[in-house]
Amino acid sequence: MKITIIGTGYVGLVTGACLAEIGNDVFCVDVDPRKIGILNGGGVPIHEPGLKEIIARTRAAGRIEFATDIQASVEHGDVQFIAVGTPPDEDGSADLQYVLEAARNIGRYMNSYKVIVDKSTVPVGTAERVRAVVAEELAKRGLADSPQHRFSVVSNPEFLKEGAAVDDFMRPDRIVLGIDDDAAGQIAREKMKRLYAPFNRNHERTLYMDVRSAEFTKYAANAMLATRISFMNEMANLADRVGADIEAVRRGIGSDPRIGYHFLYAGVGYGGSCFPKDVQALIRTASESGHNLRILEAVEDVNQAQKEILVRKITGALGDDLTGRTFAVWGLAFKPNTDDMREAPSRRLIAELLTRGATVRAYDPVALDEARRVFAMDLDGEPEQRARLHFVNTQDETLTGADALVIVTEWKEFKSPDFAYLKSVLKSPLIFDGRNLYEPEAMTELGIDYHSIGRPYVQPSHRP
């Protein structure tokens, strides 16, 4: 099938590459010539395991191309995926300007039946707005009643985990399709069924529903996962106070099949491109409908507070004034296997440490370049603080002479460090672990002063 992907961000690239991998003819378009230049030069502007290899294979086979030519992209695809960004507006609602501009371009240039697929995460009712914009552009061309220029708008939300997106796309838990039940919708249903047939060979994964329900499903799914994270962080904060071990509690409740273990790890709060903006957007949608989502409002409040939990533990041990202190920070991306720094807890932590006078030496396996970019913006106008923030190329480089190690992201390479070396180069054997990577008992036996999330603090022994 001939497929057009509008937008070469995270969702667009993964969608386009994976659809090309299974044999489709894919045209990826973007208004950003820098991104297209990177892609045509053999690079990939995001870090996602396996993605670069798929793009290289499909480009060599002639099944995927990248360009800025909007008219050519509309003419190419029978199915037009809108996969542009929907950043949060100032009031927390999703900004749909890029989605609607994509729809406007489709209306300007389409000359045959098109299935227009909302792949971006969009609020309930967006498909109707897309339909109206396309119809408006066709009317300007005098083609409002042209049978040749019929179109359908489908909601097909993505459910991709950053760091595992390629596998999620190729082996989906479910494929949600919101399609109108009319004549044009039936054509769209058959085209989408054909497109996704390779993913349904073992068993049917496609869930058909009305368009609004499909739009709502994406937000509800992310809201549920965010709720589980904030719930567990609330429990961890209480466990700190009452002397319980949140890891033991997690195993105890996760063993109940009605609950399960997924998204029940205590930590420093969620970040990334999805959960923060989707929770805010759903809260805003509810408000516009005259309804308050009290649980999600609490989820958001808990998450914002949780991003400060490590700072509270650090100041509790070392005092509010951290002038002259140096901290080694391991992990900058909001989660492993990605370079995504959007809403990353490390940004709040490092900003607080710098504000309190500390020096920070930070390392991340893949997010260093993106971290440099975002902190240049975060610290714009704060040259003195920027001078105290250093990005280094190995985790060991962060440690020498540091007053403490702070762990923010649970990269695999952080899970089994050389603790003897760590003790020998830190000023004092002090670790603040925002991901509970180590066992407190083992740390105390090693003589390491270890502070984690929701687990009892034990005074370390003084073994050498």
Catalytic residues: 274
The answer to whether the annotation marks 342 as part of a ligand binding site is yes
- Compute the C-alpha angle 176/180/183, nearest 5°: 130
The answer to whether the annotation marks 277 as part of a ligand binding site is yes
The answer to whether the annotation marks 159 as part of a ligand binding site is yes
The answer to whether the annotation marks 294 as part of a ligand binding site is no
Query: According to DSSP H, which parts of 243-339 are helical?
Result: 246-254, 275-288, 294-306, 309-318
The answer to whether the annotation marks 160 as part of a ligand binding site is yes
The answer to whether the annotation marks 121 as part of a ligand binding site is yes
Q: Exposed, middle or buried by CB within 10 Å (0-12, 13-18, 19+), for 290?
A: exposed
SS3 361: strand
The answer to whether the annotation marks 27 as part of a ligand binding site is no
The answer to whether the annotation marks 218 as part of a ligand binding site is yes
SS3 115: strand
Using left for φ > 0, alpha for ψ between -120 and 50, and beta otherwise, residue 177 falls in beta
The answer to whether the annotation marks 335 as part of a ligand binding site is yes
The answer to whether the annotation marks 35 as part of a ligand binding site is yes
- Which of 426, 431, 430 minimizes the C-alpha distance to 401? 426
Determine the residue type at 325.
R
The answer to whether the annotation marks 119 as part of a ligand binding site is no
Rounded CA separation 244/234 (Å): 13
Residue numbers in the known binding site for substrate are 159-162, 218, 263-267, 271, 335
Q: Which residues are annotated as a binding site for NAD(+)?
A: 30, 35, 86, 121, 162, 277, 342
Q: Can you say which residues are annotated as belonging to the binding site?
A: 30, 35, 86, 121, 159-162, 218, 263-267, 271, 277, 335, 342
